[in-house]
Amino acid sequence: SQKIEQNSEALNIQEGKTATLTCNYTNYSPAYLQWYRQDPGRGPVFLLLIRENEKEKRKERLKVTFDTTLKQSLFHITASQPADSATYLCALDPSGSARQLTFGSGTQLTVLP
């Protein structure tokens, strides 16, 4: 069956360090993958999209990699700050149309001051 797994439910790191979150998937061949941030009581907010033919995408302190052979995406936050504390969700769309975007259960990141 199709499955999306995010590496851990919770991740604590020290301010200034790099946070690395993992998204693994099975039985999908996604056209692209997205990462979202969700704060308590709010809806997810889009961060980055990476296509199947892209290896890496960057935006400010954020970096996403996409390895279709390993069926894995890594999400990095460099020089992390307490304000980065949130739940981060990965989402897959096999078709490329966002018709049925499938989400992982998320990783709760806490950046300690």
Partner 1 sequence: GAGVSQSPSNKVTEKGKDVELRCDPISGHTALYWYRQRLGQGLEFLIYFQGNSAPDKSGLPSDRFSAERTGESVSTLTIQRTQQEDSAVYLCASSPGTGNEKLFFGSGTQLSVL
Residues that bind partner 1 (CB under 8 A): 4, 9, 31-32, 34, 41-46, 49, 51, 89, 91, 96-106
Who's near 80: CB < 8 A, 6+ residues apart?
13, 15, 16, 17, 18, 19, 61, 111
Cβ atoms of 86 and 100 closer than 8 Å? no
**CB distance 71 to 28 below 8 Å:** yes
Nearest CB to partner 1, comparing residues 9 and 67: 9
In the complex with partner 1, the residue whose CB is nearer, 72 or 102, is 102
Residues with Cβ < 8 Å from 53, sequence gap 6 or more?
none
Q: How far is the CB of 17 from partner 1 (least distance, A)?
A: 25
CB of 87 to partner 1, least distance (A): 9
Measured from the CB atom, the residue of 49 and 62 that comes closer to partner 1 is: 49
Query: Considering the complex, what minimum distance in angstroms separates the CB of residue 1 from partner 1?
Result: 15
